[in-house]
Every structure is written in C-alpha cells, then in structure tokens.
C-alpha cells in the first residue's frame, strides 16, 4: 500500500510541477498539440531503433487467437518485437515518454483534475474487469 501512495504522490508532484513551470505552452491548444508531437516522437524513436540502430527488429504477422481460453489466447499473441532495446535507444525513448507524461500532466492540471486519481481509477477498472475489459 505504501508503494501505491508513494507512486500516487509522485504523479501528483509531477502534475503540480507541470502546472507551475509550463509557461510557453500554457494554452490547452498548445498542450494538445504537444501531446501529439511527443506521441509522434515516441513512434519515431521506436522506428529509429529498428531502422538506424538495429537493436530491435519487427517481424509482424497475423495474430492467431484461440477461442478456447483467455490464457491460451494470451500465450499465442505476439508483440512482433525481435531483440532488446539498447541503452542508447532506451534513453531516447525514456526522454520522449517523459516529455509526453509531462504534457499529459499539464493537460490534467489545466483541466483541473487529479491525474493520480485517474490512473488509480483506470487500474481499479482494469483489475475489476480483468479479461472482460480487454483493450
């Protein structure tokens, strides 16, 4: 339980800090477009891990799903990622994901809701619905 509280306070602290330091992109329109920008930068960093670095590969194919059981289906689906992300690419992705989280925190702050509570609610929904809430 203390770990959940600690993580929740970490998210709350980031949201508070984002609300205090965001000056240049304070408009909700700026925040929305920055979220799109960093989403694209995350996608680009993953693609560059494949095409420039080569630390990972992508081998995509049709996903085969079993209708017999969820656990069987879960063991059959694949991420299509081959290999492991290298430290350099991981650092770049962490920076891009961090910036995305910053702007997500800014959006929550601008719209005056608690991101930590939102995350907790989503976790509770996911736990409650289990396999029936598949996304």
Instruction: Render each residue's pLDDT in the chain as its tens digit; 135 residues.
Output: 455 557 678 888 988 888 888 777 779 999 999 999 999 999 999 999 999 999 999 999 888 776 677 677 777 788 899 999 999 999 999 999 999 999 999 999 999 999 999 999 999 988 887 766 666
Q: Find how far residue 100's CA is from the centre of its chain.
A: 8
Angstrom distance (rounded) from CA 10 to CA 115: 11
Q: In this structure, is residue 27 part of a structural domain?
A: yes
Are the beta carbons of 59 and 82 closer than 8 angstroms? Answer: yes
pTM: predicted TM-score of the whole model, two decimal places: 0.81
CA distances from 123 to 10, 23, 117, 128, 132 (A): 16, 31, 10, 8, 14
94 within domain boundaries = yes
Domain count, the chain: 1
CB under 8 Å to 48, separation ≥6 — which residues? 89, 92
CATH number of the domain that 91 lies in?
Answer: 1.10.287.1080
Q: Is residue 71 part of a domain?
A: yes
Decide if 3 is inside a domain.
no
Residue indicated by tokens 């989280």: 101
Asked if residue 7 is part of any domain, the answer here is no
Let me know if residue 9 belongs to a domain.
no
Domain residue limits at 29: 14-133
Q: What six digits make up the tokens of 23?
A: 């000056």
CA 129 to chain centre: 20
For residue 1, tell me if it sits in a domain. Answer: no
Specify if 5 maps to a domain: no
């Amino acid at each position: 339980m203390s770990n959940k509280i600690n993580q929740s306070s970490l998210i709350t602290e980031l949201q508070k800090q984002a609300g205090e330091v965001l000056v240049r992109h304070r408009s909700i329109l700026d925040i929305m477009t920055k979220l799109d920008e960093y989403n694209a930068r995350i996608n680009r960093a993953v693609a560059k891990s494949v095409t420039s670095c080569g630390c990972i590969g992508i081998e995509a194919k049709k996903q085969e799903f079993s209708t017999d059981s969820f656990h069987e289906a879960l063991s059959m689906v694949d991420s299509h990622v081959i290999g492991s992300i290298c430290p350099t690419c991981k650092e770049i992705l962490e920076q891009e994901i961090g910036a995305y989280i910053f702007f997500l925190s800014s959006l929550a702050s601008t719209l005056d809701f608690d991101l930590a509570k939102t995350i907790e609610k989503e976790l509770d929904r996911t736990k409650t619905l289990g396999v029936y809430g598949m996304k």
